[in-house]
């Protein structure tokens, strides 16, 4: 342990014997500012722990840190808890059945997680004391059956970007408690960051957001008619903006429920010959835009206020069934205004 000095540590573990099985562990307990640490583990059955994957240490505390972990191989785990400001933290895992867990408390931090492989469980968390100005980027490439959980436990003005590319049967959950957060979740990408390298479907995105003035965007694309796509947004708070887009073949399901004021919602579903289903429940000051194209369409929309609001624009286009159910309580004060186009 060195406190008050710039530290430069490079740990390289290169294990390449074709006949020997290696088990590597790094336990860590680091306190101090201005740490520069780079860990590379190349081989099987690697670790760095805890939180808890499994047992003991991997605690890093201090400001102005750069901390990078790279694990290449199978059965890697990682897992660490950090505290401090102005940190740059990255984790890269390449291989199958990896597990990562990162919990970061502090302000002005940048966290980046990149994983290639199947059946991973990834938990990335910011803050428990109104932490601000943090960035989280999580990217999962070329694997199936992954579970992602990304959390702002208590914080404001944070940016979260979670991406899953070229995969199927993935579950992506984002929970946020705080204000003025900018959050994006992608499966396949598009609009228009492009990617979409042959998405295969059966992907789910869930949002649970408590707080004011958050901007939320969800994008799912091209599942090649193999399992469908599902997005559910649950939001409590004022002045939220939600954009929710699903594209490609296969069934699309979209759910948005907002309990709060002055919300703007845009839900777009575009498919080929399958079902498009949208269910939207909003309370107070709405501007709703729903677009469904091709296939069998159903939109259930429940809007309340009783003192005014909601402007609804619903478009259902295609050659088969188009169905919508609208429940609204406006009582004007120069609000309401509904437009529905069915082709």
CB 141 within 8 Å of CB 165: yes
Structure-model confidence comparison of residues 85 and 193, the more confident one: 85
pLDDT in tens, 14-43: 333 343 445 777 777 778 788 888 888 887
Q: Is pLDDT at 12 greater than 80 in this prediction?
A: no
pLDDT in tens, 246-261: 877 778 888 888 887 7
- The 10 Å CB-count burial string (b at 16+, else e) for 185-202 is bbbbbbeeeebbeebbbb
pLDDT in tens, 203-225: 777 878 888 887 888 777 765 55
Q: Read off the pLDDT band of 199 (50, 70, 90).
A: low
In 3-state terms, what secondary structure has residue 56? coil
Q: Once rounded to an integer, what is the mean pLDDT over residues 277-292?
A: 82
324: exposed, middle or buried (Cβ count in 10 Å: 0-12, 13-18, 19+): middle
């Amino acid at each position: 342990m060195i406190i008050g000095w710039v530290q430069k540590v490079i740990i390289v573990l290169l294990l390449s014997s074709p006949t020997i099985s290696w088990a590597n562990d790094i336990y860590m307990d680091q306190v101090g500012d201005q740490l520069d640490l780079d860990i590379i583990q190349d081989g099987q059955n690697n670790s760095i722990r805890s939180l808890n994957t499994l047992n003991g240490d991997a605690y890093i505390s201090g400001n102005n840190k750069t901390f990078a972990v790279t694990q290449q191989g199978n059965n890697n785990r990682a897992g660490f808890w950090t505290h401090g400001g102005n940190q740059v933290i990255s984790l890269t895992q390449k291989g199958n059945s990896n597990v990562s867990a990162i919990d970061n408390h502090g302000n002005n931090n940048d966290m980046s997680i990149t994983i290639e492989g199947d059946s991973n469980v990834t938990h990335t968390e910011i803050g428990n004391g109104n932490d601000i100005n943090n960035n989280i980027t999580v990217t999962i490439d070329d694997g199936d059956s992954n579970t992602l959980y990304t959390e702002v436990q208590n914080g404001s003005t944070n940016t979260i970007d979670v991406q899953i590319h070229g995969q199927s049967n993935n579950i992506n959950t984002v929970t946020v408690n705080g204000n003025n957060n900018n959050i994006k979740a992608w499966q396949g990408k598009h609009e228009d960051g492009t990617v979409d390298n042959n998405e295969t479907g059966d992907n789910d995105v869930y949002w649970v957001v408590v707080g004011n003035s958050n901007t939320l965007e969800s994008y799912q694309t091209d599942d090649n008619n193999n399992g469908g796509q599902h997005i559910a947004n649950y939001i409590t708070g004022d002045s939220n903006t939600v954009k929710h887009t699903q594209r490609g073949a296969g069934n699309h399901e979209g759910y948005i429920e907002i309990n709060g004021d002055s919300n703007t919602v845009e839900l777009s579903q575009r498919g080929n010959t399958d079902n498009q289903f949208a269910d939207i429940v909003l309370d107070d000051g709405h501007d709703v835009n729903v677009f469904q194209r091709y296939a069998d369409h159903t939109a259930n929309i429940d809007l309340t206020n009783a003192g005014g609001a909601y402007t609804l624009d619903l478009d259902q286009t295609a050659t088969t069934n188009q169905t919508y159910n609208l429940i609204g309580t406006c009582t004007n004060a120069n609000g309401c205004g509904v437009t529905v186009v069915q082709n």
